[in-house]
Amino acid sequence: KKYIRDIPDFPKKGIIFKDITTLLKDGIAFKDTMNILYQRYKNKKIDKIAAIESRGFIFGGALANSLGVGFVPVRKKGKLPAKTLSITYQLEYGSDTLEVHCDAIEKDDKVLIIDDLLATGGTASAVSEIIEKIGGEIIEIAFLIELEFLRGRDKLKNHEVFSIIQY
Ligand code: AMP
């Protein structure tokens, strides 16, 4: 927790933004974080890591590399070049659309979903839906940070959820 910086009123008033750049710039803290994830998942027979743009890519990319498994980017609308499956989900104000390549996952691939932070769970819930639609079996959904008071886990009830740090 001492490496995570609170930024009040970012990106808008009333939100306390959890800034992880202060953790990432510290080589030991970043390595320790990745080691927690590596130890947890090294024997879980994971085939693919699906990570959520954009901060999820940092942890997902590093973990996929150390586990020696595939990396699947889940991206904002219009960024992926080949055929995609997309999902639109509600945000507090408005909606957002995420996409994944249709051929990113083989049927019954064991998939770990990863993002930096679990807030309301809307994003991770949409991602888990899309990963299952293209045939993946979700082993767990992992976060660096969980904002427990927002009860994001309730939206992810059908899945195992892991977080390193809780607020
Ligand atoms: P949610 O769909 O509400 O669980 O929001 C999760 C997504 O929004 C994650 O990709 C986070 O990176 C981002 N996010 C939401 N709340 C915060 C926060 N307080 N600080 C940093 N990132 C946040």
Position 91 pLDDT exceeds 90: no
Whether 55 sits among the annotated catalytic residues: the reply is: yes
pLDDT at position 92 = 75
Q: Which of 55, 129, 132, 153 is catalytic?
A: 55
Banded model confidence at residue 12, pLDDT cuts 50, 70, 90? very high
Which pLDDT score, from 0 to 100, does residue 3 have?
A: 98
Q: Cα(150) to centroid of ligand 1, in Å?
A: 11
Q: What's the CA gap between 110 and 46, in Å, rounded? A: 5
> Which pLDDT belongs to residue 52?
97
> 51 - beta bridge partners?
73, 114
Q: What is the pLDDT of residues 102-114, one digit of tens each?
A: 999 999 999 999 9
Residue with CA nearest ligand 1 atom 13 = 117
Q: What pLDDT, in 10s, does the model give residues 24-74? A: 999 999 999 999 999 999 999 999 999 999 999 999 999 999 999 999 999
Please state, rounded to an integer, the average pLDDT across all residues of the chain: 97
Instruction: List 49's β-bridge partners, or say none.
Output: 71, 112
* Residue 48: predicted pLDDT: 98
Nearest CA to ligand 1 atom 12: 117
Q: What confidence tier does 16 reach under pLDDT thresholds 50, 70, 90? A: very high
Query: What whole-number distance in Å separates Cα of residue 97 and Cα of residue 80?
Result: 12
Q: Has 132 been annotated as catalytic?
A: no
What's the CA-to-centroid distance between 35 and ligand 1, angstroms?
Answer: 23
Q: Ligand 1: distance of its center to the CA of 16 in Å?
A: 10
| Ligand 1 pocket, mutate which of 123, 128, 149, 150 (most atoms under 8 A from CB) | 123
Identify the burial level of 127 via C-beta atoms within 10 angstroms of its C-beta, where 0-12 means exposed, 13-18 middle and 19 or more buried: buried
Cα–Cα distances (Å) from 96 to 5, 86, 105, 122, in that order, read: 26, 10, 22, 10
Q: Letter for the amino acid at 38?
A: Y
pLDDT at 94: 87
- Which residue minimizes the CA distance to atom 18 of ligand 1? 17
pTM above 0.95, yes or no: yes
